[in-house]
Amino acid sequence: MLRLGLVVAGVILADTTSCSKERLRKLLREERHRAWSCENVHLKVIEDQPWEAWALDSQPAFQHLNFKVLDPHPLKDRDDVIWSLAQPPYNQTMPDGTKRKPEVVTARFWTNMHVPPGRAFAVEALNRLDVVREWMPQLFSNLGVAGSVDLYATRVGRNKVGSYGWHLDTVDALIYVLQGAKRVRVAGHYPGSKVTMDKVLSAGSMVYVPGGRFHVLHALPIDVDAKTAGLVVALSIGLFNPNEDLLQVRTDTYRSAFEHRNLLWSDMTSHSAFLPENFPRKPEVVYADKDALDSKGFGAIHRRVLQKDALRLAMLLRQGAEVNLHSQPPEGPSLTPLGLAACCVDDEEVALLLTAKLLEFGAEPTVEFHDGENFSAVQVAHRRNEAFAAQMALRLYAASDSSEL
């Protein structure tokens, strides 16, 4: 992480071009593979929500959510320490899951006790609260996105130049607070990769990190209960990631290898030493690419069919994944998701459910194999049994009939 002196001396000025809601929606829909910022955009659906009250003033929030105190790493001569993994954050819960004493009325009381100016705190999984769940449809109608919601807040003392804020995804997203503005530094998908964004952004800016996090940067009013500090926050919305299954495996590997080791982001020698020998330095796909093929030749849409995950399949299709994407396995036939549902999903009822969803989004009924032969999904289903083939034929008929209306 950057030392305070370096941050003050090395500020990179932010672009002041306004960003419309339409441009923001386009970026969220089409630019999931790279980091970007959208500045000076105002969205009432976000700005008008009482985040401070939802996170700090309600007893249900303190009972159901996870409040963590984040203490900046004490090493002075390191400019990019992955301190978020170097020491466990203070947590409101005991190891067995019970709440720490004393019992308090509100989360604000707890944070005032444990988070002095200069420290940050995280409030995880705000979407567990009923009021936030009720707000999610509004967010979806405005931006076409929804996901988990976390809040990262830093107490900024009135006399301080700046203090740490933090967020870490699979990629490194460093948020540094400077008197209400924030420095955002985003690197790539693996330790030691080059920085792709380094900006100081004002409140009201939006930032997207390719790991699937959409950050809204703004300042909350002065905290009336803590007389020496205000709150500067990053509202973090975890968007649906097409390749989250692959991403989770890589994240878990990194975490188990690097946790508690005081490593530098740029220290590739140490990183390589702690990672498994066969672990690839670069990921096999760009995780935000909805149509990327993995090392086995399957896209996210194929994997979700094989995993019988109808919910995530529907989310992929609504996100615009190619419904007729062909797999490219080293051996075996090249199949569309519909072909996989017809041939390879062992639960016939689930296979038909997946088939209906794929057809709803325009899946072609033919299945192309390596040798160039084409078969219909019904012919593929016949290889299993006639009853299943008959049900498949009904699905295809219903889809073609509805498309002619």
296-351: pLDDT as tens digits: 999 999 999 999 999 999 989 988 899 999 999 988 888 899 999 999 999 999 99
- Enumerate the β-bridge partners of residue 270: none
Does 119 or 16 have the greater pLDDT score? 119
Token pair recorded at residue 395: 């699905």
Question: Quick one: 215 and 345 in the same domain?
Answer: no
Q: How far is the C-alpha of 24 from the C-alpha of 44, rounded, in Å?
A: 14
Token pair recorded at residue 228: 């020496």
* 235 within some domain: yes
Q: What is the mean pLDDT of the chain?
A: 78
Question: Quick one: 37 and 152 in the same domain?
Answer: yes
* 253 within some domain: no
Mean pLDDT of 276-295: 88
Phi, psi of 155 (to 5 degrees): -85, 120
Question: Quick one: 228 and 363 in the same domain?
Answer: no
Could you tell me the CATH number of the domain that includes residue 105?
2.60.120.650
Q: How far is the C-alpha of 260 from the C-alpha of 189, rounded, in Å?
A: 20
* 124 within some domain: yes
Q: Is the pLDDT of residue 240 over 60?
A: yes
* 259 within some domain: no
Q: What is the pLDDT of residue 247?
A: 86
What proportion of the chain, given as a percentage, has pLDDT over 70? Answer: 76
Q: pLDDT tens digits for 19-64?
A: 898 999 888 888 887 889 998 888 889 888 988 889 888 888 888 8
Question: Quick one: 209 and 308 in the same domain?
Answer: no
pTM for the model stands at 0.69
| CA torsion, ordered 245, 249, 252, 258, to nearest 10 deg | -140
Contact between residue 123 and residue 233 where contact means Cβ atoms under 8 Å apart: no
Question: Quick one: 212 and 312 in the same domain?
Answer: no
Q: What is the pLDDT of residue 73?
A: 57
**In total, how many domains does the chain have?**
2
Question: Quick one: 148 and 82 in the same domain?
Answer: yes
What proportion of the chain, given as a percentage, has pLDDT over 90? Answer: 24
Q: How far is the C-alpha of 92 from the C-alpha of 101, rounded, in Å?
A: 9
Contact between residue 218 and residue 203 where contact means Cβ atoms under 8 Å apart: yes
Picking from 170-179, 194-203, 377-386, which range would have the lowest pLDDT averaged per residue? 170-179
Q: Is the pLDDT of residue 3 over 70?
A: no
Q: What share of the chain is helix, strand, coil (3-state, %, to 5)?
A: 35, 20, 45
Q: What is the pLDDT of residue 172?
A: 35
Question: Quick one: 223 and 351 in the same domain?
Answer: no
Does 167 or 87 have the greater pLDDT score? 87
Contact between residue 149 and residue 138 where contact means Cβ atoms under 8 Å apart: no
Domain end position, chosen among 213, 244, 275? 244
Domain end position, chosen among 244, 279, 308? 244
Q: pLDDT tens digits for 245-279?
A: 998 898 888 878 877 777 776 677 777 788 888 88
Question: Quick one: 158 and 294 in the same domain?
Answer: no
Contact between residue 232 and residue 248 where contact means Cβ atoms under 8 Å apart: no
First to last CA, the chain: 59
Q: What is the pLDDT of residue 400?
A: 78
* 343 within some domain: yes
Q: What is the pLDDT of residue 16?
A: 42
What residue numbers bound the domain in which 54 lies?
Answer: 4-244
Mean pLDDT of 82-103: 67
Could you tell me the CATH number of the domain that includes residue 347?
1.25.40.20
Question: Quick one: 92 and 163 in the same domain?
Answer: yes
Q: What is the pLDDT of residue 218?
A: 73
Q: pLDDT tens digits for 155-194?
A: 776 543 333 333 333 333 344 444 456 777 787 766 667 7
Question: Quick one: 188 and 119 in the same domain?
Answer: yes
The verdict on whether omega for the bond into residue 191 sits within 30 degrees of 0, i.e. cis, is: no
* 272 within some domain: no
Q: What is the pLDDT of residue 370?
A: 57
Question: Quick one: 370 and 304 in the same domain?
Answer: yes
Q: Is the pLDDT of residue 219 over 90?
A: no
Domain end position, chosen among 244, 259, 274? 244
Does 3 or 71 have the greater pLDDT score? 71
* 249 within some domain: no
Mean pLDDT of 70-99: 62
Strands across the sheet containing 205-209? 36-38, 205-209, 213-222, 229-239, 147-157, 120-124, 66-70, 90-91
Beta strands 66-70; 36-38: pairing state: unpaired
Residue 288: pLDDT band (50, 70, 90) is: confident
Q: How far is the C-alpha of 253 from the C-alpha of 250, rounded, in Å?
A: 5
* 278 within some domain: no
Helix (H) or strand (E) holding 376: strand 374-376
Q: What is the pLDDT of residue 108?
A: 85
Question: Quick one: 376 and 238 in the same domain?
Answer: no
